[in-house]
Structure 1
């Protein structure tokens, strides 16, 4: 398994409870595809440098996780289906040894 980091931007319309539920749902998605969440860092609501989908601010969350490389495309497909996630970026931190 490889170590990845995802940073995602969530719609500012969500309440704190909905934000936590979305994070838990993403954790479940990672685990159901054979991954393991290591850390979750909620940066809170930030003002954006430019509008994203007509929003001027949003919630940032960074999550590090171990994940099988062959399941990454399925995880990205699931991310794209979530309307409340405005943007995301997945970065490979460590290759397999």
Structure 2
């Protein structure tokens, strides 16, 4: 069984008690269909940022539940047919991601072992002096 989250808005034309009855009716329907409610909130009044079906306010209900995916269509049909519900959103709740662990760093000693070899290689290279450079420039310019 998957975990679902259902959020729906109930018309403000209903009283608070009637909105609570509607929410409990949907909860009872879920349990009747074999689902279990993990988390449910009572309807709370909200002011909407824009009007939905000519309503500027609504009662918002949030709930989490488990239900067989085959029976989910029946629940959606019941919500769609109810004219007291302005809008709903039903999503599959995914388990929280694990925090990424810090990557292991290489030991500092391994880096230091490579450094002295590089220094020795640099010392063995022949340094070019300014006098040699000037002589080569003069030869090139004479030609």
Q: Same fold judged by TM-score > 0.5?
A: yes
Matched, 1:7 2:7: yes
CA shift for structure 1 position 93: 0.7
Q: How does 1:77-96 map to 2 (within 5 A)?
A: 77-94=77-94
Structure 1: 5+ residue stretches without partners: none
Following TM superposition, the consecutive aligned residue runs of length 4 or more in structure 1 with deviations greater than 6 angstroms are none
Which has the larger strand fraction?
Answer: 1
Query: Match of 1:42, SS?
Result: coil
Which has the larger helix fraction?
Answer: 2
Give the number of equivalent residue pairs: 95
Higher RCO (CA-CA < 8 Å; seq separation 6+): 1
- Structure with the greater alpha carbon radius of gyration: 2
- Quote the Cα distance in structure 2 between the aligned partners of 1:17 and 1:45: 12
CA offsets, 1:19-76, max 9 Å, x none? 1110110011111111111111236111111110000010111000011111111110
**TM-score, length of structure 1 as denominator length:** 0.91
Aligned residue in 2 for 1:37: 37
Structure 2: 5+ residue stretches without partners: 96-143
- Quote the Cα distance in structure 2 between the aligned partners of 1:16 and 1:52: 19
CA RMSD between the two structures = 1.3
